Amino acid sequence: MKRLNISRNTRSNFATYAMVIIVFLVLQILGQGGMLSSTLKGQLVPICAYVVMALSLNLTVGVLGELSLGHAGFMSVGAFAGTVAAVSLQASIPSAGVRLLVALIVGAACAALAGFLIGIPVLRLNGDYLAIVTLAFGEIIKSIVNNLYIGMDGGGLHARFLNNTMTLGEGGRMILNGPMGIPGITKISTFTAGFLLILVALFIIFNLVNSRSGRAIMAVRDNRIAAESVGISITKYKMMAFVISAALAGAAGALFAQGQTTVIATKFDFNTSILILVFVVLGGLGRMWGSIIAAAALTILPEALRQFSEYRMLVYAIVLILVMLATNNPQIRGFFTRLSKWIKDLLLLRFRAARKLAGETDQKGGGEQ
Amino acid sequence: MSQTNRPATKLVPVPSKNMIPERDADKSPILECQHLGIDFGGLTAVNEFTMAIGRTEITGLIGPNGAGKTTVFNLLTKVYQPTRGTILLDGVDTHNMNTVQVNKAGIARTFQNIRLFSNLSVEDNVKLGLHNHIKYGALSGVLRLPGYWREEKIAHKRAMELLSIFHMEDLAGAKAGSLPYGAQRRLEIVRALATNPSLLLLDEPAAGMNPSETAELMENIVKIRDTFQIAVLLIEHDMSLVMGICEGICVLNFGQIIAKGTPEEIQNNPEVIKAYLGSGKEE
Amino acid sequence: MSFLNHLINGISLGSVYAIIALGYTMVYGIAKMLNFAHGDVIMVGAYVCFFASSSFGLPPILGVILAMVVCTVLGVVIERLAYKPLRQATSLAVLITAIGMSYFLQNAAQLLWTSNPKIFPTFFSFGGQTGVSLFDGGLNISYAALVTIIVCIVIMVALTLFTSKTKMGKAMRACSEDKAAAQLMGINVNTTISMTFAIGSCLAAVAGVLLCSAYPTLQPTTGSMPGIKAFTAAVFGGIGSIPGALVGGLLLGIIEILAKAYISTQLSDAIVFAVLIIVLLVKPAGLLGKMIREKV
């Protein structure tokens, strides 16, 4: 039975890797054959970035069990740190691929640092309080980046806060311009880079979860008091999950920014945090393949259904509520279980069984509404 | 009441006026509480709690509901910080330790209301008990370095051995939360044992078990003590269990120790009978 | 003198926060959930009042009453449809549902009333004046600020009397202490929770009108930031405590206005949130709150 369980877990992980690789290959082939619309092509890098964001948030919400409402803040730190690195190294590193790698690493490192600093106070709290404080930090990060000015000249990088009183030397240029953000970014993110980042994120998360540290993180989620009683330090493992999650979000932010021409701080606001939370919740807490599908689908669909764009957020909201009700209310969940069983029976063409069950479902389902 | 499987040990008094088995008498006690007490606001939940436990002694902590038994466990494991008094674990003052450090120092416990990692497998629950004995870091885990494979293999073997105490090897892959009640209680004991304690605290281990399960549990507690050579302190309402396996018993009422001694002494103690049956004045 | 001006503005804004915070704190005290949608109920209240007075030409007081009625119904309906089925669910599930509800209200408002800002009418002007000027213009107090502060005091007194004197108020306090025990004493917990939502949402309508009287731009997102800040205020003062909501709201309003005036306009929100974080670290239960230990 144990063997079965382990293999089920591993099988699901490998299926996730396989799904990502196959989709990538199919899209590559379609792209070579010129069968992808230019809108979709333009969406590929953002999709990868959002997938990594969803995976990263799923580590915090699904595996660690704490709600973070400021995840876009880490994306923001990664985006701006990564872009500043990429722009300032444009001359010294001519290879776009290497520059992107450096940007991703710088973005991840800076976001991890931000995650660590924020984690010190935040992780002492629990539940709703932690959620509200992460929200507060998300807003603080937005305000800080919105008032940050970074310029570069022969003497290196210069930074000012609140007011741009910088005088740059010969050949100097502004990189980050407060509320104007970073304009004129050279697009160096590619779909392949995004795909690789997704694989790296999956690799880190899967291997972490199936190791000593990952078990400890899940133990903290399942029962804090019991975890302490067996000698597991709550703060240490909460921090570990939080920092890794922040680092992945930072890398995603850097990837996202290098695929845009301009990034501004207000792009990474509370709404973005919620959007990513929607991906995670719809995909299923702790279910990485779910996050990938939800993030990809919900980034493509609005583009595909452009005429309904006004209704998009409304539909997201309704779906979010319905999913929570369906997964957390025993009666509604029971109804859905019976419904899916009924559909399964119908598909298996067990006519008699299905007919009998259908009668039951109708009666019970009707009674509950 | 079966008293046949109680080990035939002679009990001798130690300076703290406790009775510990003769075989432990020449050794220092594993746990010594001196004048331990805690107040919640103005309410004194536990006061002047003084006792010692021998290194391989099975001790019972009994008393009516609300007497402060679980609070004593919470004090020992530092879920609450004591307001007064000292706890010496193997001669070391645990004053500056927190729950995690106390566990590393050698106290493991189970909970009255079961606290398993219910979404994880039975094996993972035991491996979490082994957590501090598995020696590889997060990086080895993520990168799957040799340390990971070596240590996980050892951990798996050890977890299976521990589960075999209660013949639970077959359940290793099941989700802990889906186990029947009795098995969950047993798993909690296994998980606590996995942390390699020198003192095991069991909070109502027989709660909700039927007589035959309780009898089996009694045998197993004694077996655990004998195999691991550790001390056990247990809270229990099932008197057949307490009188059957405990060498020393401590009776708590309104946060105060009202009696200490061997099962026979406790059974005939008028204070204890009064506490359990009431003096007639109380409602 | 300008400091006094800022202080009065701060107290006025703080009074609005306090009224909103009441809704959060009462619901949190009883249902143990963070009703994220509360801020958006404020926005709905403001819109109802806006349309009542500008489109239908109703007198302001009728507009306010209509807004209160609509919000009360809305609050109870939200509770019944979205939160009640999740009474037994984890706090994470409830919080996510509440966020979903908040988004639903915002986007429904956007579809119904578009995202174009509406300019809220001035209700509080007497004889063409919108405020009084003292000390040769050194101190300007708007009528809106005065009304806001007075309304806040009235609501606080009324609510304190309600929870301590009336049967329903006592039932609310009982439910927040121990739902199971309250039920055993014959208190209908569901009705009590609905009642709490009703009161909170009714106050949200008042807060919406007061907020828009001070800051007259009305948009579907108008409620969300003040909502978050008012929740901050509730946490600041100690969640579950009515005086805590007042203290938290007032302090937060004053800090925000003073930070705007003396430190930086752009950073005022960041400063408000930083204060929240510091308070939670120093006093996790808030200024007037009680720490509840998890029973082991």
The DSSP result for B40-97, as a single string, is ETTEEEEEEEEEEE-TT-EEEEE-STTSSHHHHHHHHTTSS--SEEEEEETTEE-TT-
**Residue extents of the structural domains in chain B:** 1-106+197-283, 122-195
Mean pLDDT in residue range A101-108? 96
- Residue A358 is predicted with a pLDDT of 57
Structure tokens of A10? 């591993």
Q: In the structure, what pLDDT confidence band is assigned to residue A38 with cuts at 50, 70 and 90? A: confident
Q: In the structure, what pLDDT confidence band is assigned to residue A365 with cuts at 50, 70 and 90? A: very low
Q: Which residues in chain C have their CB less than 8 angstroms from residue B79's CB?
A: 296
Does A1 have pLDDT greater than 50? Answer: no
- Taking the Cβ of residue A131 and every Cβ of chain C, the question of whether any pair is shorter than 8 Å is answered with yes
CA angle A13, A78, A258 (to 5 degrees): 90
Instruction: Select from A118, A142, A139 the least CA-distant residue to A130.
Output: A118
Mean pLDDT in residue range B77-82? 93
Among A334-338, C46-50, C133-137, C187-191, which stretch is predicted with the lowest mean pLDDT? C133-137
- HEC profile for A253-312? HHHHHCCCCCECHHHCCHHHHHHHHHHHHHHCCCCHHHHHHHHHHHHHHHHHCHHHHHHH
Does C228 have pLDDT greater than 90? Answer: no
CB B12 within 8 A of CB B19: yes
* Per-residue model confidence as pLDDT tens digits over C237-293: 888 888 899 999 999 999 999 998 888 888 888 888 888 888 877 877 777 776 666
- Residue A91 is predicted with a pLDDT of 82
Q: How many CB pairs under 8 A join A and B?
A: 111
Q: Dihedral sign for Cα B26, B28, B30, B33, please.
A: positive
Based on the domain organization, do A32 and A109 belong to the same domain? yes
Residue of C nearest to A282 (CA): C96
The alpha carbon of residue A279 is apart from the nearest alpha carbon of chain B, in Å, by: 22
Q: In the structure, what pLDDT confidence band is assigned to residue A357 with cuts at 50, 70 and 90? A: low
The alpha carbon of residue A16 is apart from the nearest alpha carbon of chain B, in Å, by: 17
Q: Which residues in chain B have their CB less than 8 angstroms from residue C296's CB?
A: 70, 74, 79, 111
Structure tokens of A321? 């509520």
- Residue C187 is predicted with a pLDDT of 86
DSSP string, B9-26: --EEEETTTEEEEGGGTT
Residue B81's alpha-carbon distances to B73, B110, C102, C138, C190, in angstroms, are: 11, 19, 42, 57, 38
- Residue A280 is predicted with a pLDDT of 92
Residue A88 belongs to a domain: yes
CA A175, CA A153: separation in Å to the nearest integer? Answer: 10
- Which residues make Cβ contacts (< 8 Å) with residue C61, sequence separation at least 6? none
Phi–psi pair at C159, nearest 5 degrees = -70, -35
Q: Which residues in chain C have their CB less than 8 angstroms from residue A225's CB?
A: 294, 296
Q: In the structure, what pLDDT confidence band is assigned to residue C1 with cuts at 50, 70 and 90? A: low
Instruction: Report which secondary-structure segment, H or E, holds A220.
Output: helix A212-222
Chains in contact with chain A (at least 3 beta-carbon pairs closer than 8 A): B, C
Residue C94's alpha-carbon distances to A325, B213, C85, C103, in angstroms, are: 9, 39, 10, 14
Cβ-defined contact of C99 to A144 (cutoff 8 Å)? no
Q: With 0-12 CB in 10 A as exposed, 13-18 as middle and 19+ as buried, what is B3?
A: exposed
B74 or A124: which carries more pLDDT confidence?
A: B74
- Taking the Cβ of residue B9 and every Cβ of chain A, the question of whether any pair is shorter than 8 Å is answered with no
The tally of domains found in chain A comes to 2
How far is residue A95 CA from its own chain's centroid?
Answer: 28
CATH of B1-106+197-283, one of 3.40.50.300, 3.90.1150.10, 1.10.10.10, 3.90.950.20: 3.40.50.300
Does A189 have pLDDT greater than 60? Answer: yes
- HEC profile for A18-45? HHHHHHHHHHHHHHHCCCCCHHHHHHHH
Q: Which residues in chain A have their CB less than 8 angstroms from residue C277's CB?
A: 121-122, 133, 136-137
- Which residues make Cβ contacts (< 8 Å) with residue B77, sequence separation at least 6? A229, B99, B102, B103, B107, B109, B201
Structure tokens of C210? 């007061």
Cβ-defined contact of B128 to A230 (cutoff 8 Å)? yes
CB B38 within 8 A of CB B78: no
Instruction: Select from A48, A37, A110 the least CA-distant residue to A79.
Output: A110
Considering only CB atoms, B103 lies closest to which of A218, A229, A240, namely: A229
CA C65, CA A341: separation in Å to the nearest integer? Answer: 50
Q: In the structure, what pLDDT confidence band is assigned to residue B278 with cuts at 50, 70 and 90? A: low
- Residue A353 is predicted with a pLDDT of 57
For chain A, list residues whose CB is within 8 angstroms of any CB belonging to chain B.
1-6, 203-204, 207-208, 210-216, 218-219, 221-223, 225-233, 240
Range of the domain at A246: 2-311
Residue A252 DSSP SS3: helix
Among A160-164, A304-308, C248-252, which stretch is predicted with the lowest mean pLDDT? A304-308
Chains in contact with chain C (at least 3 beta-carbon pairs closer than 8 A): A, B
Alpha helices in chain B (DSSP H): 69-76, 99-105, 122-129, 138-143, 146-164, 181-194, 211-228, 239-245, 263-267, 270-277
The alpha carbon of residue B206 is apart from the nearest alpha carbon of chain A, in Å, by: 19
Percent of chain B with pLDDT over 70: 93
CB C62 within 8 A of CB C52: yes
Residue A108 belongs to a domain: yes
* Per-residue model confidence as pLDDT tens digits over A51-93: 999 999 999 999 999 989 899 999 999 999 999 999 888 888 8
Q: In the structure, what pLDDT confidence band is assigned to residue A366 with cuts at 50, 70 and 90? A: very low
CB A241 within 8 A of CB A64: yes
- Residue A7 is predicted with a pLDDT of 56
Helix and strand numbers, DSSP H then E, in chain C? 11, 4
DSSP state of A167: -
Mean pLDDT in residue range A163-186? 81
- Residue A20 is predicted with a pLDDT of 93
CA A33, CA A164: separation in Å to the nearest integer? Answer: 49
Q: Which residues in chain A have their CB less than 8 angstroms from residue C82's CB?
A: 321, 325
DSSP state of B205: T
A354 or B111: which carries more pLDDT confidence?
A: B111
- Taking the Cβ of residue B79 and every Cβ of chain C, the question of whether any pair is shorter than 8 Å is answered with yes
Mean pLDDT in residue range C108-116? 87
CB C33 within 8 A of CB C27: yes
Residue A121 belongs to a domain: yes
Mean pLDDT in residue range B191-208? 94
The identity of residue C97, as a single letter, is: T
Mean pLDDT in residue range A295-314? 76
The terminus-to-terminus CA distance of chain B in angstroms comes to 29
Q: Which residues in chain C have their CB less than 8 angstroms from residue B70's CB?
A: 296
Q: In the structure, what pLDDT confidence band is assigned to residue B217 with cuts at 50, 70 and 90? A: very high
Query: In a mutagenesis test of the A interface, which of B73, B79, B100 is the best target, namely the one with the most A β-carbons within 10 Å?
Result: B100
Q: State the complex-level ipTM.
A: 0.88
Does B280 have pLDDT greater than 80? Answer: no
Instruction: Name residue, tokens 């740059």.
Output: A168
Instruction: Name residue, tokens 């799904």.
Output: A19
Considering only CB atoms, C86 lies closest to which of A277, A311, A328, namely: A328
Instruction: Select from B8, B9, B55 the least CA-distant residue to B32.
Output: B55
How far is residue C293 CA from its own chain's centroid?
Answer: 27
* Per-residue model confidence as pLDDT tens digits over B3-59: 444 555 677 777 666 777 878 777 888 999 999 999 988 889 999 999 999 999 999
Based on the domain organization, do A360 and A271 belong to the same domain? no
- Residue A360 is predicted with a pLDDT of 56
Q: In the structure, what pLDDT confidence band is assigned to residue A4 with cuts at 50, 70 and 90? A: very low
Instruction: Name residue, tokens 């120092």.
Output: B105
Count other C-beta atoms under 10 Å from residue C147's C-beta: 18
Mean pLDDT in residue range B248-253? 91
Chains in contact with chain B (at least 3 beta-carbon pairs closer than 8 A): A, C
- Residue A333 is predicted with a pLDDT of 76
The terminus-to-terminus CA distance of chain A in angstroms comes to 39
CA C148, CA A184: separation in Å to the nearest integer? Answer: 48
Q: Which residues in chain A have their CB less than 8 angstroms from residue C231's CB?
A: 132
Q: In the structure, what pLDDT confidence band is assigned to residue A337 with cuts at 50, 70 and 90? A: confident
B122 or A121: which carries more pLDDT confidence?
A: B122
Mean pLDDT in residue range B155-168? 94
Cβ-defined contact of A232 to B104 (cutoff 8 Å)? no
- Strands C131-134 and C118-119: what pairing? unpaired
Residue A318 belongs to a domain: no
Does A299 have pLDDT greater than 60? Answer: yes
Based on the domain organization, do A104 and A64 belong to the same domain? yes
Residue A319 belongs to a domain: no
Query: In a mutagenesis test of the C interface, which of A58, A146, A321 is the best target, namely the one with the most C β-carbons within 10 Å?
Result: A321
Considering only CB atoms, A212 lies closest to which of B79, B134, B194, namely: B134
CB C53 within 8 A of CB C213: no
Based on the domain organization, do A174 and A32 belong to the same domain? yes
Instruction: Name residue, tokens 């009694």.
Output: B218
Considering only CB atoms, C269 lies closest to which of A61, A139, A313, namely: A139
Cβ-defined contact of C96 to A324 (cutoff 8 Å)? yes
Among A156-170, A195-209, B217-231, which stretch is predicted with the lowest mean pLDDT? A156-170
Q: Dihedral sign for Cα C253, C254, C260, C263, please.
A: negative
Does C59 have pLDDT greater than 90? Answer: no
Query: In a mutagenesis test of the C interface, which of A64, A125, A143 is the best target, namely the one with the most C β-carbons within 10 Å?
Result: A143
- The overall average pLDDT reported for chain A is 85
Based on the domain organization, do A236 and A339 belong to the same domain? no
Mean pLDDT in residue range A286-294? 92
Residue A103's alpha-carbon distances to A141, A255, B182, in angstroms, are: 19, 8, 55
CB B237 within 8 A of CB B209: no
Based on the domain organization, do A194 and A112 belong to the same domain? yes
Instruction: Select from A219, A233, A216 the least CA-distant residue to B99.
Output: A233
- Residue B22 is predicted with a pLDDT of 78
- Please, what's the b/e burial string for A282-314 (b: 16 or more CB within 10 A of its CB; e: otherwise)? bbbbbbbbbbbbbbbebbbebeeeeeeeeeebb
- Residue B149 is predicted with a pLDDT of 94
Residue of B nearest to A244 (CA): B138
Q: Which residues in chain A have their CB less than 8 angstroms from residue C294's CB?
A: 225
- Taking the Cβ of residue C89 and every Cβ of chain A, the question of whether any pair is shorter than 8 Å is answered with yes
CB C205 within 8 A of CB C20: no
Does B1 have pLDDT greater than 50? Answer: no
Based on the domain organization, do A354 and A258 belong to the same domain? no
- Taking the Cβ of residue B103 and every Cβ of chain A, the question of whether any pair is shorter than 8 Å is answered with yes
* Per-residue model confidence as pLDDT tens digits over A212-270: 999 999 999 999 999 999 999 999 999 999 999 999 999 999 999 999 999 999 889 88
The alpha carbon of residue B37 is apart from the nearest alpha carbon of chain C, in Å, by: 17
Based on the domain organization, do A301 and A333 belong to the same domain? no
CB C108 within 8 A of CB A313: no
Does A352 have pLDDT greater than 70? Answer: no
Cβ-defined contact of B100 to A232 (cutoff 8 Å)? yes
Residue A322 belongs to a domain: no
Among A114-123, B73-82, C66-75, which stretch is predicted with the lowest mean pLDDT? A114-123
Residue of C nearest to B112 (CA): C296
CB C50 within 8 A of CB C120: yes
The alpha carbon of residue A169 is apart from the nearest alpha carbon of chain C, in Å, by: 28
CATH of the domain at A145: 1.10.3470
- Residue A369 is predicted with a pLDDT of 35
Based on the domain organization, do A262 and A340 belong to the same domain? no
DSSP state of A179: G
Q: How many CB pairs under 8 A join A and C?
A: 122
Q: Which residues pair with B61 in a beta bridge?
A: B235, B250
- Taking the Cβ of residue C82 and every Cβ of chain A, the question of whether any pair is shorter than 8 Å is answered with yes
The alpha carbon of residue A325 is apart from the nearest alpha carbon of chain B, in Å, by: 20
Residue B8 DSSP SS3: coil
